[in-house]
Chain A
Amino acid sequence: MNTVKLRIRRYLPDSGQAYWQEYQVPAGPDETVLSALLYIREHLDSTLAFRFSCRYKHCGLCGMEINGRARLACLTRLKAENTIQPLPKLPVIRDLVVDRQVITSLLDGIRASWQEGFQPGGKVLEPPGRRRLAACNECLCCLSYCPGYQGESSFGGPLVFARLAWYFLHPADGGDRPLEAIGLGIHRCQDCPGCRCLRGIPVFREGVRPLLAAAGIGHAG
């Protein structure tokens, strides 16, 4: 069994202290950053705060910046040396835990509004792209790759537009999603090369572009 090194950004909100801390962790082959973090919690330092839930790919809670890129800790293999920080652009609550509320509060108030006659379980045709948007696990990693998102509350970013498009592409949607998208600053996406999603969801093609088109905002691509 080898030993790997993890350099982790700590932040303690009560005292305001921020610093780097190093841990040495034994790791077998194929082990992941999440297994190293769990080892630290269980054996070395139980004050280290990070989120996780499912341990493999579903939940999206273990999004963090690993060796300079936003990734899921459960899907990232350990290297000999690993530098780990909270996701960028979001307020940090403690250590690797960011404030998800900043994003989820933008989703609050986006309501379902079904056209009259919509019957759940009944006859309806779903555009295939919508199913892919539905697989978003809100890991928030897309925000770190988004050139437009800088942490302000006036811009939705890929995740929020994916949700809006999820409603918009529902064949029985009765809301005015293009208007909501404009309110969340979708015009900034106009000249953007596109979104990046760790799950490979084509957020731009299936979500942002249809909203842009419906809002009457042109896009070069």
Chain B
Amino acid sequence: MDVVCLGGGGAAVAAAVTAARLGGRIALVSKEPVGYGDTRISLGFTLYPNPAGGDSPEALLADLLVGGEHLNSLQLTELIALKAGRAVEMVEEFGHLYRRDREGNISRVVFARSGGHRISRTLSCPPGGGVAIANALRAAVQGLVVSRTDLRHAGVLVMEETVACRLLLREGRIAGVVCLDLARGETVVLECGALVMATGGAGWLYYPNTDCTRGATGDGYALAAEAGAELQDMEQVQFIPFGFTHPSSIRGIHIGEPSIAGPRGVLKNGEGKVVLADLHRMTRAAVTRVMALELQAGRTTPHGGLWLDLSGNLQEADGRQLWEQSRQRWAMDCVRRAYGERAYRWEEPWEVVPTSHYCMGGLVTDAHCATRVPGLYAAGQVQGGIHGANRLGSVSLAEVFIFGEIAGREALAFSRRHGCPASGTYGEEIQAVDKLFGRRGEETPVAVKGRLHRLMWEQVGLMRHRAGLLSALAEIARLREQAAQTRVVPERRYNPEILDVLELSRMLDVAEMITAAALLREETRGAHLREDFPEPVEALGTKNVVQWMENDRLQTGWREVKAV
């Protein structure tokens, strides 16, 4: 295998397709079916420069840096600004078409202004949204599929519902990956010359207070760190302001971001007092910060949220039109189901709570998407540095394609330059997975997972403080001991407990990274809110939190922001 791509969303597929088209023999290894990650639920909002509206790479870069509070790795952010149109191009190469006007040009009508942008430069794609883009991803991969028996030719070997368990190193570089094929219950070793990590984020650590998909358990951060890669800014977890509070089955599901409030929408606390007006142009981080303070003070609605009251918009002449637009764009049918007809019509306020949406932090890479581990590349949400301390709306759908393409191309080039490392026997690594089947123990891994979810939301969630973070670190250590003693039924084929136990171990690693990074940053910046340090500290405004593993222990320190 020339390159293994881990993941199943936009970044992994962009990398795999790019490398296969360049003649590479590629394996695409995805824990979920391909196209069933966060790209699918992205609603399809894609960054697209809008020169007619005064847009330019410089204007976009400025917004990204201001939004990211300058913690961004400048050379990566610059790439987004320069290549912003590439995402739409790639998605269209795969077969999706964004809305056109009557002349056949990309329609200006569907340009929207996402949170934090000063210019409307986001395309939406009703009615399919992210599903339509995910279908295009699946179509692109399916057009390049090769079978297991035909690996001599360029193409993509697709391994769905296959969990990466450990990266393999040889001669100081990436040599492959040990995976578990869930349906067959078989461990598989894939040897390769280079590997693209594109496993997405870790929003699921906060379940049910997340709008991310089930697979977003942060596997890639942990796998890559274990192999020697560095991470940055892991304390920067974005909570998007508006998620559902109830019913429980949709707790945390995304309703929308600040721009849905419209010019006259307001946020009220549980006592009915307006705590925020004119929020529709604010960043996600800024709105979440105000909400976190109210929640912390206990001035909440019956289901532990705040009221988002959009009724003011209806009094405007164009209020009806605004409602019509948002009805098409947002999760409004879900509002109707959960909160009723009057809420759907904006006549009654909605209960909303911030929900874990995106990890700005991630693997440290250079502009070629290379980590410091030779042969290990990263693209998409698992990569750090692009967004600094806060991500602006619709940029992630650009990032996955822009960096996925770079990572696929560069990984293949590395693999060709250096060849595959000599084949090895990895008995110990395989055994480590195999012996989990049928392990005896007191409780189930899912029970420990539940404790970790609650801990992260309560102590490492919206609002953090030193005592809570310290107790969280101690609790994570205890949960590790408990996790090591969980039981797993012995059945091999599609055993849900084996998935639980593998994910739990990665989630604990990532929980520790987030907590340790949050403890170190004694200030409030971007998405990271400290109750005990409510203001930004100027000296920390030019520093990234960097983390790496040394002798199996997580190390956390500072590094000057890479400004070029």
Contact = CB atoms under 8 A, between A and B. Distances in A.
Interface of A: 12-15, 28-32, 34-35, 38, 41-42, 46-49, 52-61, 74, 93-95, 97, 99-101, 104, 107-112, 120-121, 123-126, 130-132, 134-138, 163, 166-167, 170
A172 B235 CA distance: 46
Contacts of A42: 446-447, 450
Contacts of A104: 33, 138, 142, 160
Nearest to B126: A131
State the main secondary structure of chain A at its contact with B. loop
Interface string B243-261: 0000111100100000000
Contact of A121 (B37, B106, B132): B106
Given A46-B447, A58-B40, 8 more contacts: A13-B493, A55-B214, A56-B249, A56-B250, A58-B130, A74-B249, A120-B90, A121-B88
Contacts of A61: 32-33, 36
B250 A55 contact: yes
B106 A14 contact: no
Contacts of B500: 46
Contacts of A14: 185, 490-493
B127 interface: yes
B338 interface: yes
A55 B253 contact: yes
A46 B445 contact: yes
B557 interface: no
Contacts of B361: none
Contact of A135 (B91, B128, B337): B128
A120 B139 CA distance: 16
Closest 8 pairs between A and B when the two form their complex, measured CB to CB: A35-B249, A120-B92, A135-B128, A111-B143, A134-B132, A94-B494, A123-B104, A108-B145
B143 A109 contact: yes
A218 B319 CA distance: 49
B9 to A, nearest CB: 11
Interface string B91-126: 111111111100111100000000000000000001
Contact of A53 (B96, B214, B444): B214
B299 to A, nearest CB: 24
A35 B338 CA distance: 14
Contacts of A94: 491, 493-495
Interface string B196-219: 000000000000000001110000
A126 B36 contact: no
A13 B135 contact: no
A121 B247 contact: no
A53 B36 contact: yes
A134 B135 contact: yes
A146 B158 CA distance: 28
B445 to A, nearest CB: 7
A93 B493 contact: yes
A107 B142 contact: yes
Contacts of A112: 93-95, 139-140, 143
Given A30-B338, A61-B33, A136-B135, A55 B89 contact: no
A126 B128 contact: no
Please indicate which of the listed interface residues A55, A163, A170 has the most CB atoms of chain B within 10 Å of its own CB: A55
Given A59-B213, A134-B132, A120 B93 contact: yes
B496 A56 contact: no
A112 B143 CA distance: 7
B139 A110 contact: yes
Given A54-B41, A59-B40, A100-B33, A124 B492 contact: no
A220 B542 CA distance: 70
Contact of B104 (A32, A99, A125): A125
Contacts of B128: 131-132, 134-136
B129 interface: yes
Given A59-B40, A123-B105, A135-B128, A53 B97 contact: no
Please indicate which of the listed interface residues B130, B131, B144 has the most CB atoms of chain A within 10 Å of its own CB: B131
B496 A47 contact: yes
A126 B129 CA distance: 16
B446 A46 contact: yes
Contacts of A54: 40-41, 213-214
14 contacts: A13-B493, A31-B247, A31-B249, A32-B249, A46-B500, A53-B37, A53-B215, A95-B494, A104-B160, A111-B143, A112-B94, A121-B106, A167-B139, A170-B97
A125 B127 contact: no
B85 A121 contact: yes
Contacts of B276: none
Contacts of B131: 58-60, 134-137
A124 B494 CA distance: 45
A138 B128 CA distance: 12
Given A42-B450, A53-B215, A59-B36, A123 B496 contact: no
B227 interface: no
B290 interface: no
B479 interface: no
B190 interface: no
A48 B492 CA distance: 14
Contacts of A52: 214
Nearest to B445: A46
A162 to B, nearest CB: 9
Interface in B27-67: 32-33, 36-37, 40-41
Nearest to A127: B97
Contacts of B37: 53
A125 B334 contact: no
Contacts of A124: 97, 100, 104
A37 B94 CA distance: 35
B485 to A, nearest CB: 15
A123 B103 contact: yes
A74 to B, nearest CB: 7
Nearest to B248: A35
A130 B158 CA distance: 27
A53 B103 contact: no
B358 to A, nearest CB: 15
A112 B17 CA distance: 12
B275 interface: no
A137 B138 CA distance: 11
B95 A167 contact: yes
